[in-house]
Amino acid sequence: MWSNLEVVNEGSPTSIVWASQGPEGSGKSAFGLSAPGPIYVAAFDPYGIDRVDKKFKAGKNIRIARYAFNPNKYDDKAACKKAAAEVWKRFVGDYTDALAHVRTALWDREDMANKLQRYSSWGDTSAAPSDYEDLYIDYIALIQEAFKARVNLGLLRGLKEKWVSKFDAGKGKMVGHNTGEMIPGGMKGLPDHVDITLSHRWDDTQNLFMTKLVKFTNPEFRGQEFPNLDFATMAMSAYPETPVEAWI
């Protein structure tokens, strides 16, 4: 038994799985496209990549699959579930195949992928807490496929308003309140399943993208923010012992 167990590799990683969060136009996609190609883009925001400045796409081998889905087109949950399941199944097949051919995969955006998966299971975005477990397991398994294939995976996440429930004595019930805070959408707990998390924003005063290293493997840089950061620089900061050729 012992002799059959895998010996842990002491070498440095050759791929990175990261989550990028930020509002529209904050540089999430531009950063993702700075990763090495070939690149597969799973476009749940079907034309988001098209809006990225062409300079970030120049000279890159980028393949895109668009997974458009509008739940408002369907009159009932059964029809919505069936249509969403077809789109989700196509994504899973494309993604699995792409991992054998690319160096980088991008989910643009992960929060929209997460909603599509829920529509494909329930015809809606919410269900009983016990119903989330199987979806959670399947979702994490897809992310782990990138680790297994040693492919860089970028999970690009939009932001949403944070709401909390408070008891309203006047109404005698719990009422939702907007906290005014913006938080990443998508799967709850996702940072626990990635190597690195990044927070992106556009700085109007300096006219450049800013990227903050939130969860980061190298404590020397954790919590710091950098202008116009690209993938190779980030990767070398995370794993300084690796050759730059591994990340370009």
Is residue 178 over pLDDT 80? no
For residue 216, pLDDT over 90 is answered with yes
Least confident range from 15-29, 81-95, 131-145: namely 131-145
Cα–Cα distance for residue pair 157/197, rounded to 1 Å: 10
Provide the pLDDT for residue 166. Answer: 72
Residue 174's pLDDT is 66
Residue 242 clears pLDDT 90, i.e. is over it: yes
Looking at CATH, the fold of the domain delimited by 13-247 is given as Rossmann fold (3.40.50)
pLDDT tens track for 54-79: 999 999 999 999 999 999 999 999 99
Structure token digits, residue 90 = 């196509």
Say if pTM beats, i.e. exceeds, 0.85.
yes
Dmax of the chain from CA atoms?
A: 67
At residue 169, the pLDDT reads 67
pLDDT of residue 165: 76
What band does 43 get if pLDDT is binned at 50, 70 and 90?
Answer: very high
Residue 129 pLDDT > 90: no
Please give the average per-residue pLDDT across 1-17, as a whole number: 88
Q: In this predicted model, which residue has the larger pLDDT, 177 or 234? A: 234
Distance CA 98, CA 113 (A): 17
Looking at residue 215, what is its pLDDT? 97
Q: In this predicted structure, what is the pLDDT of residue 234?
A: 98
Q: How confident is the model at residue 126 (pLDDT cuts 50, 70, 90)?
A: confident
* Domain range list for the chain: 13-247
Rounded to an integer, the average pLDDT of 130-144 is: 91
pLDDT at 167: 64
**pLDDT reading at 17 higher than 90:** yes
Q: What is the pLDDT of residue 10?
A: 78
* pLDDT surpassing 90 at residue 202: yes
Count Cβ atoms below 10 Å from residue 186 Cβ, excluding itself: 23
Residue type, 79: A
- Rounded to an integer, the average pLDDT of 95-107 is 98
Reported as type and span, the H/E element at residue 144 is: helix 132-149
The predicted structure's pLDDT at residue 128: 74
Rg (CA), the chain: 20
Residue in 206, 215, 156, 150 with CA at minimum distance from that of residue 34: 156
Model confidence at 176: pLDDT above 80: no
Does the pLDDT value for residue 168 go beyond 70?
no
Q: Report how far residue 107's alpha carbon sits from residue 116's, in angstroms, rounded to the nearest whole number.
A: 12
